[in-house]
């Protein structure tokens, strides 16, 4: 069954941009709920656990400045999201905006990039959630077993998919608690780590923070670009706050504010934790060093016991840190289902994908068909990657940076193009609606190009593939994972174009989908 309701009027005179009613529950969320969803999707505890070791491996002691610089293009693109959302608050976000600006082909690929990144990261999140679940209950042997971790990870995806079907308000309430606990635990961790460093109780690997950590010229451009791609993964997720715009009060303004607030909170958290973790553990490749390959994809589980200790209150805090990474990963699975499902919903409403995905549950007013479809697709991808890859975490994290840079960069450029005429009218419009989003988008595109060039090498990634027509040519697993997902999207677009041509024909785009052509 489906239920279609008219969306609430947009406050403040904001033009809804011709978005057709989709049946979602309007006015359900405020700015705090949107910020919680954005932070929950970014999953600060999980992102730091999964990405910090790789950043340090790339740039060494320059990790703090990489995390801070990685914030700048994200902030600029988040501003672009907010400006586009003011004039066209549509849950299709990148898909809808790019389609209106540059046409259906590029718009479809932008929408696919959103869905593909969410599906890919859910495999990564499920891996972390499965491992940490066993660690929390003391079953460390099962945590290291590939099969048992797979079963737990699939169960997590299934559970979060079910919650995603219940309603967006439930997800927001869950995020309030989990985000607050994550930030509080990370703050305590940072404070204790720095106190031990300056108190001389951190061990011989400890190093005092120095201003040289914030000099970007201490690392090569190649290493810096790879570090920034990984930092993009850590920041990624705040756009979930915009994807629920049609379910938000004052949907023209609140989602943009929530997105920008999320990036600022993430920047402050990441800078503090990176400095304290690096000071405590050092950047070495042995022991607890952040670049040690044995735990480069999961640094917090190792550092928790070292920083807090293994007895009394310290044992409890170390367990709490592990529990927070588990909760962070699980909550992020839920938050990543939201933008993927709503992008698929919008694409279905505009007939860019099968119309069945536009069905709305008549009780909870959520996109049940697309939510379940995204969950099943994530399960299939996780199962496939577990069977063919020796290290799901390593290959998917790095490849995600490529796709994130693509659709964030595309949205930033779209904002500049959208407001190119208005930018001439005032200084404020020039900077906020044109220059900053354009700079953010182009910077991400530059690092995307650099990453593609470097990730081609077979040494990047735990898996490599030999080209069938030339045995001497091998491709790195990171490049393969990112490009394979993109090419699969192109194939799906071609197939659907033959099945339903009107969306891809400019002369019928407005009539068939309700979207104006790029010329309009």
Distance CA 125, CA 3 (A): 32
Contact status, residue 396 vs residue 124, Cβ threshold 8 Å: yes
Q: How far is CA 13 from CA 16, 96, 164, 253, 415, in A?
A: 9, 20, 31, 11, 20
Mapped onto helix, strand or coil, the DSSP state of residue 476 is strand
Within a 10 A sphere around the Cβ of 136, how many other Cβ atoms? Answer: 16
Summarize pLDDT for 52-98 with one digit per residue, the tens.
988 998 899 999 999 999 899 999 999 999 999 988 888 888 998 99
Mapped onto helix, strand or coil, the DSSP state of residue 2 is coil
Distance CA 341, CA 360 (A): 11
Token digits of residue 433: 């609606």
Mean pLDDT on 335-344: 87
Distance CA 455, CA 13 (A): 47
Distance CA 337, CA 171 (A): 11
459, containing H or E segment: none
Which has more pLDDT, 323 or 27? 323
Which has more pLDDT, 417 or 22? 417
Distance CA 125, CA 77 (A): 24
Q: How many residues does the chain have?
A: 520
Which has more pLDDT, 258 or 177? 258
What does the radius of gyration of the chain's CA atoms come to, in whole angstroms?
22
Contact status, residue 158 vs residue 382, Cβ threshold 8 Å: no
Summarize pLDDT for 347-387 with one digit per residue, the tens.
888 888 887 887 887 666 778 888 899 999 999 988 887 77
For 170-284, strand residue ranges (E) read: none
Distance CA 234, CA 229 (A): 9
Question: Residue 102, exposed/middle/buried by CB under 10 A (0-12, 13-18, 19+)?
Answer: middle
466, containing H or E segment: strand 464-466
DSSP class of 460: S
Summarize pLDDT for 99-129 with one digit per residue, the tens.
888 888 888 999 999 998 888 888 878 888 8
Token digits of residue 241: 């706050």
Q: Say what the alpha-carbon torsion angle 273, 276, 278, 281 is, to the nearest 10 degrees.
A: -120
Q: What is the pLDDT of residue 520?
A: 46
CB within 8 Å of 401: residues ≥ 6 apart: 229, 230, 232, 233, 451
Among the residues of 3-143, which ranges form H helices? 31-42, 44-59, 63-87, 94-102, 104-136, 140-143
Residue 513 has pLDDT above 70, yes or no: no
CB within 8 Å of 425: residues ≥ 6 apart: none
Confidence at 223, pLDDT banded by 50, 70, 90: confident
Q: What is the pTM of this model?
A: 0.83
Q: Which of 374, 380, 383 is nearest to 164 (CA)?
A: 374
Q: What is the pLDDT of residue 26?
A: 72
Mapped onto helix, strand or coil, the DSSP state of residue 419 is coil
Summarize pLDDT for 36-57 with one digit per residue, the tens.
888 888 888 888 887 898 899 8
Distance CA 128, CA 50 (A): 8
Taken in order of first residue, the domains within the chain and their CATH numbers are: 11-421+428-513 (1.20.1740.10)
């Amino acid at each position: 069954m489906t239920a279609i309701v008219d969306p609430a009027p947009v406050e403040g005179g904001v033009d809804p941009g011709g978005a057709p009613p989709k049946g979602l529950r309007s006015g359900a969320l405020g700015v705090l709920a949107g910020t919680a969803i954005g932070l929950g999707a970014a999953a600060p505890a999980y992102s730091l656990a999964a990405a910090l070791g790789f950043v340090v491996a790339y740039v060494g002691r320059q990790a703090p400045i990489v995390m801070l610089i990685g914030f700048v293009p994200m902030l600029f693109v988040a501003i672009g999201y907010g400006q586009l959302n003011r004039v066209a608050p549509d849950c299709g976000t990148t898909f809808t905006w790019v389609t209106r600006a540059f046409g259906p082909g590029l718009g479809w690929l932008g929408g696919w990039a959103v869905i593909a990144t969410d599906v890919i990261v859910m495999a990564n999140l499920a891996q972390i959630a499965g491992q940490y679940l066993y660690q929390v209950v003391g079953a460390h042997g099962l945590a290291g077993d590939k099969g048992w971790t797979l079963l737990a990870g699939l169960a997590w995806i299934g559970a979060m998919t079910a919650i995603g079907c219940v309603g967006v308000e439930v997800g927001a309430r869950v995020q309030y608690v989990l985000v607050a606990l994550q930030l509080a635990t990370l703050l305590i961790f940072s404070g204790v780590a720095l106190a031990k460093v300056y108190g001389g109780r951190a061990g011989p690997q400890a190093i005092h923070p120095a201003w040289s950590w914030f000099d970007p010229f201490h690392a090569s451009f190649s290493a810096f670009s790879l570090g920034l791609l990984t930092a993009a993964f850590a920041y990624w997720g705040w756009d979930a706050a915009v994807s629920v715009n049609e379910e938000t009060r004052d949907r023209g303004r609140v989602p943009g504010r929530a997105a920008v607030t999320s990036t600022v909170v993430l920047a402050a958290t990441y800078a503090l934790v990176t400095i304290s973790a690096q000071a405590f553990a050092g950047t070495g490749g042995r022991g607890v060093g952040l670049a040690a390959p044995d735990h480069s994809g999961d640094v917090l589980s190792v550092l928790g016991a070292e920083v807090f200790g293994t007895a009394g209150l310290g044992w409890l805090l170390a367990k709490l840190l592990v529990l927070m990474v588990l909760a962070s990963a699980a909550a992020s699975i839920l938050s990543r289902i939201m933008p993927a499902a709503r992008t698929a919903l919008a694409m279905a409403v505009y007939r860019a994908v099968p119309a069945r995905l536009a069905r709305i549950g008549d009780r909870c007013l959520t996109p049940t068909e697309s939510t379940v479809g995204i969950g099943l697709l994530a399960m299939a991808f996780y199962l496939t990657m577990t069977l063919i890859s020796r290290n799901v975490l390593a290959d998917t994290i790095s490849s995600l940076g490529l796709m994130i840079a693509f659709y964030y960069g595309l949205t930033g450029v779209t904002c500049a193009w959208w407001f190119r005429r208005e930018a001439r009218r005032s200084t404020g419009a020039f900077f906020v609606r044109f220059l900053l989003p354009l700079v953010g988008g182009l910077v991400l595109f530059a690092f995307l190009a650099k990453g593609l060039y470097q990730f081609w090498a077979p040494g990047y990634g735990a898996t490599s593939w030999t080209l069938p027509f030339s045995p001497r040519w091998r491709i790195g697993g990171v490049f393969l994972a990112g490009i394979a997902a993109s090419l699969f999207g192109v194939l799906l677009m071609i197939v659907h174009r033959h099945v339903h041509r009107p969306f891809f024909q400019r002369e019928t785009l407005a009539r068939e989908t309700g979207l104006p052509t790029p010329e309009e």
